[in-house]
Structure 1
Amino acid sequence: MLETSARLLRLLSLLQAHREWSGADLADRLGVTPRTVRRDVDRLRELGYPVNASPGTGGGYQLGAGAELPPLLLDDDEAVAVAVGLRTAAGQGIEGIGESSVRALAKLEQVLPGRLRRRVGALNAFTVPMLRGAQPSAVDPGVLTELAGVCRDTERLRFEYRDHDGSPSRRTVEPHRLVCTERRWYLVAWDIDREDWRTFRVDRITPRPPHGPRFTPRTPPAEDLAAYVSKGVSTRAYAVHGVVRLFVPMAEAAERISPSAGVLEAETSESCVLRTGAASLDVMVIHVMMMGFEFEVLVPEDATETIRTARDLLSRALERTSQGPPRTRGDAGRTPGTRSGPGAA
């Protein structure tokens, strides 16, 4: 009995992991016969899990949205509370839980009954969060779960995309992964028309279903996708690329420098290297200087004159500031301590 229960949980997990499984694939994953898979599917249905089956050579099993919330687990109010909480966490990019929230929300909404979907939608549509500080561009949690679904199901995705200058374009991609920074969400995907990997900001994506067909996943552009996206948004996207040595331990630098501002590499126990980019060399030098660390620009090699110009400009500003506010025309010829205007002695 214990072995059967464990197998049912494993079967349910497999059905949640992909959109559709063939009976042979499930049997192979579970180490049982196709007949046992059919019996286990019937048991899941008896427990309230809506498992759909399509006949034929191209058919298979698919976990559908049910008329009743599957027993485990959550009553209606608890399911709504969890869905709203996951949407909030996903939309705000809370460090450490944003990506997990999207995956969990995609699983939950897959089996959420229609009546509960309407309740969740109403709560999100008519709730205005009061957030402190500057916030990133809003990301629709529904778009996040839709993108997570096509990544999971290895389905081609069609969408409209707005570039940084607002120019629209139509894209067809093979989606691979969603990557979350502390401020933004990005989609890493193979661009069919450009025949190359691309990184897209999710807040600029408007999906245009239907999605599909299915595709065979490609080897990703990097093992560390977080570092790949960080390099893309902080360096490759800019005209000027820089390599800067910071005379501070990498852990301390990472407290002030976000992944979207540059890629940090440890050098010694007391220094690290920052790879970053900017629209111009002037902007890059000022940006690095504002980080507040002692630094040395390694690349580009002709940064010396730019640094010298910035130094001279700051020196003149400091000299003027230390002299106090400039005297106005009305102050000319007036000695300290004298008064003017009505009532003056």
Structure 2
Amino acid sequence: MKNTRREFLQKVGVSAVALQLASVTGWASEKQTAQAYDGPVLRVAILGLGNYAARVADAMQGCTKAKLVGLISGTPAKIEKWSAKYNIPAKNCYNYGNFDQIKSNPDIDAVYVITPNGTHHDFIIRTAKAGKHAISEKPMAISVKQGEAMIAACKQAGVKLLVGYRMHFEPKTLEVIRMRKEGEFGKILFFQGLCGFKIGDPKQWRLNKELAGGGSMMDIGIYAINGARYMTGEEPVWVTAQETKTDPVKFKEGVDETIQFQFGFPSGATASCLSTYNMNGLDKFFLNGEHGYAEMQPSTNYGPIMGHTNQGELTQPVTVHQTVQMDEFAEIIFHDKQPPVPVDGHEAVKDLKIISAIYEAAKTGKKVSMSV
């Protein structure tokens, strides 16, 4: 049976789908009734029409500030199916070969690259050269060097580079961040992030080093890395890590199965995290401070996110993450809105630097000092 991160994240929240939809519908209706939007709409083309792209496309049907207007794929059958489903005109449909012609299309503002990690670099640079705003799924690239080149290309072209950090807009997550910023937990002492699932099909791209850039760390571990940073509000100054591999046939050289990793922060706070492709049901964040705590489980799946603090249950509204993300991206691109947690290329490169340090620490067995 084939399992992917996206299928896992979807299944974790499946028992509460009815609750989620009811909450989202009610909240969205209330929001729209309160204030109708009449500003500019971000016109987006999706590049790479896989499972997660389908989730984004469906979610965008609920956006008020962003709209799906274009498709880019190497599979003609997908273009035909998607263009019919989402009413996309033929003039806004491209393949990977003629994609650069998007430069001459005034009806597309941005391209959202949702392809295997190892292909993000080239597609984002082509997007920038075409003069379109660039959105990349995470991880943004498979190396720091690639990530920095993507930032440079977008800067030179005068376009924005954003990354699909959907949790940076999730209400319960933002409430915990607010509480931490306002000192409600006191001095932060410790963070724990557990992220993992048992991966299926050994032939999938996530187990191909060239396409994935690694293994579980690049796919699911990045949630714990990024979570450790936004939950504590600090950047790590040292990293230690230990790798465990039980199936070297499935998890070939350079494709990690399970890595435990630890961070130290400037304040003295520490973090202990786990990234794995060999254990199901791991989706938990825990933040501890001198005067309180926050626990979230599920912490990063598609919803509903659930959690509580020492003050009680987190009751912020359930949202469709990708809908909120795309509307917020429109605000960032058109109005230079600054989100509570950054979603730009520099934020992504910080994660890539930490991933590199984790791999180095796991390989050498030594504590790696770092600065992002």
TM bracket (short chain) = under 0.3
TM-score computed with the length of structure 2 as normaliser: 0.23
For the pair shown, which has the larger CA radius of gyration, 1 or 2?
Answer: 1
TM-score computed with the length of structure 1 as normaliser: 0.25
